[in-house]
Amino acid sequence: MTTTSTTKFDVAVLGGGIVGSSVAYFLLQEDPGLSVCVVEPDPTYEFASALRASGGCRVQFTRPENIAMSLFSIDFIRKFESNMIANGRPAPVDWVEGGYLFIVPPEQTTGLERNVRKQLAAGCVVDLLSPSELKAKFPSMNVADIGAGAHTPHDGWCDPNGLLWGFRRKAIELGATYIQDRFADGEVDGSAVRSVVLESGNRIVADAFVNATGAWSGEVAAKFGMKLPVSPMRRFEHYFTAGSPVESLPYVKDTARLAFRSEGKGFSGGLVDGSEQRGFNLDVDHDYFERVVWPAVAHRFPAFEAAKCHRTWSGLYEVNELDGNPVIGAWNKRLPNLYTVSGFSGHGMMHAPAAGLGIAELIVHREFRTIDLTKLGYERVEANEPYAEEGIL
C-alpha cells in the first residue's frame, strides 16, 4: 500500500527549469524567511528548453519592458559566476561578450533606425551601420541586399546549463526544496488555488503558486481552468563549420529569422520556422540544415559555400500565440494567487533573471519594484490585446 502526504509551503513553483529556478532564487533573496518548493520531475532536464538553447542575450527589442529585462539580465549574467557562488563553489556561465548584429533589407531600414532610437533612449549601446560600414567590420559578409545593420557590442551569449544549475544550486543553498515529481492537478475554490496534486499522489498546499513550466505551461494552466495561449514549437539548432576562413562573428540575425553566432572553431545557430506545427515533437530533421539554413547562410557569407553541419538538435520554444511576448503576473480576476511566468517565445533564457525577480517582487511586495512588467500581465490575454514587438524577431 502506498501512502501519500500533504506538505505546506508559502510558495510552490511548478517547473524547475531556468525560469522556475530563477523565481525560487529571487523569492528567497526578497524574503529569506519564506518556505519555497520547486516541483520538477526531471533533474536531468532531458526535454527542458533551457538545455537546448543557444545562449543568446541581447538588448535589441522594442518594448520597454523587454529592453529593461535584457539590460538587467545581461548585467546579472555577466556577474553570475562570482555573485552566485553556492556552498563555496563558483557558478560559471561562460559569458562571451560577442555582440549581436541585426541586419535588414533596404525597405526595413527606417524601422531598424526607429528601433535603434528606442534602444538608445533606454540606455543601450547600439551602433547603426551602413552596408559599407558593415563590410569594413565583417569582411566576409555579402552586403549587396542589406539596407542597414544594428550592432550591440555588449550583448553576447552564455552557457544555459551553467545558468540553470547556478540558479538551482543557489536557490537550494538559500533554502528552496526541489521536489522530484510532476504537477498533475490544481485544487481551486471560489477565489484561490488551495493546493496542487502531484503525479505521486502527494499534495502541496501553499499561499502562492507559480506556473513556470515553459512549453508545458499551457497544459498546466488548463488544469486550473485558465486559458494560456502558450504552445510548444519545435526549433532546430545546428553546430557547423564554414569550410573557408571567416572572422569571428557576433550573433547575426536577419528578418528571415536566420540566427547564428561563433562557437569555438565553428558556428551555432539555425533558422526559425514560425509556421512549424505546434506540439511536443522533438524529432530531428537531418536535412533541415542543407535545405533551409545552408542556402541562407551561404548567401549572407559566401565563405559558407562549403559549410559542414556536424550536429543538429531540436528543442521547444514556448510560444505565446497572442503576441510572442511572455506572460508575467497573477490571474487577478479569478485566482490571484496563481502566477504565470511563461510564453517567452525564444527569449526565456536571457530574460529568466529579470522575470524571476519580477514574479518574486509581485509575490513578496505585491508590486513590481525593479522593472514595471504590468503590461506583460495576463490581463492583455483576457482582453485579447496583443502587446507584440515591432519588427524584431
Ligand X SMILES: Cc1cc2nc3c(=O)[nH]c(=O)nc-3n(C[C@H](O)[C@H](O)[C@H](O)COP(=O)(O)OP(=O)(O)OC[C@H]3O[C@@H](n4cnc5c(N)ncnc54)[C@H](O)[C@@H]3O)c2cc1C
Q: Count of residues for the chain?
A: 393
**Cα–Cα distance between 300 and 325 in angstroms, integer?**
28
Q: How does 103-135 read in b/e, with b if 16+ C-beta sit within 10 Å?
A: bbeeebbebbeebbebbeebebebebbebeebb
CB of 258 to ligand X, least distance (A): 13
The answer to whether 20 contacts ligand X (rule: CB under 6 A) is: yes
CB 156 within 8 A of CB 98: yes
50 binds ligand X (CB under 6 A): yes
CA dist., res. 375 & res. 135, Å (int): 39
Of 237 and 361, which CB lies nearer to ligand X in the complex structure? 237
CB of 244 to ligand X, least distance (A): 26
What element of type H or E holds 335?
A: strand 335-342
Q: Least CB distance from residue 81 to ligand X, whole Å?
A: 18
- For ligand X, give the closer residue by CB, 143 or 181: 181
Q: Which of 53, 103, 143, 252 binds ligand X (CB under 6 A)?
A: 53
CB closer to ligand X out of 22 and 337: 22
Q: Which residues in the 332-351 window bind ligand X by CB under 6 A?
A: 342, 344, 346-350
Q: Which of 25, 26, 45, 239 binds ligand X (CB under 6 A)?
A: 45
**Residue with cell string 553546430:** 239
Stretch that binds ligand X, among 28-36, 42-50, 275-283, 296-304 (CB under 6 A): 42-50
Number of chain residues interacting with ligand X (CB under 6 A): 41
> Minimal distance in Å, beta carbon 15 to ligand X?
3
Residues 93 to 152 in contact with ligand X, rule: CB under 6 A: none
- In the range 201-230, which residues lie near ligand X by CB under 6 A? 212-216, 220
Instruction: Tell me the window of 51-59, 101-109, 274-282, 358-366 that interacts with ligand X (CB under 6 A).
Output: 51-59
Residue window 223-262: x/- pattern of binding to ligand X, with contact defined by CB under 6 A: ------------x-x-------------------------
Nearest distance from C-beta of residue 241 to ligand X, angstroms: 19
- Which CB, 252 or 303, lies closer to ligand X? 252
Residues 6+ apart with CB under 8 A from 88: none
For residue 353, state whether it binds ligand X (rule: CB under 6 A).
no
Interface with ligand X, residue 167, by CB under 6 A: no
Task: Put residue 326 in one of left, alpha, beta given phi > 0 → left and psi -120 to 50 → alpha.
Answer: beta
C-alpha distances in Å from residue 255, one per residue of 41, 117, 145, 322: 37, 19, 12, 20
Q: Which residues contact 385 (CB under 8 A, 6 or more apart)?
A: none
Task: Judge whether 261 and 54 are in contact, CB under 8 Å.
Answer: yes
CB of 115 to ligand X, least distance (A): 18
Site for ligand X in 290-329 (CB under 6 A): 315-318
Pick between residue 183 and residue 339 the one whose CB is nearest to ligand X.
183
The residue (of 131 and 160) whose beta carbon lies closer to ligand X is: 160
CB of 134 to ligand X, least distance (A): 22
Least distance CB 287 / ligand X (angstroms): 17
Residue placing its CB nearer to ligand X in the complex, 143 or 169:
169
Q: How many CB atoms lie within 10 A of CB 274?
A: 13
Q: In sequence order, what DSSP letters do the residues of 256-287 get, joined into one string?
A: T-EEEEEETTEEEEEE--TTSPBSS-----TT
Instruction: Report residue 351 as a C-alpha cell.
Output: 530574460
DSSP class per residue in 139-180:
TT---TT--EEEEETT-EE--HHHHHHHHHHHHHHTT-EEE-
Which positions lie near ligand X, rule CB under 6 A? 14-20, 39-42, 45, 48-50, 52-56, 182-183, 212-216, 220, 235, 237, 315-318, 342, 344, 346-350
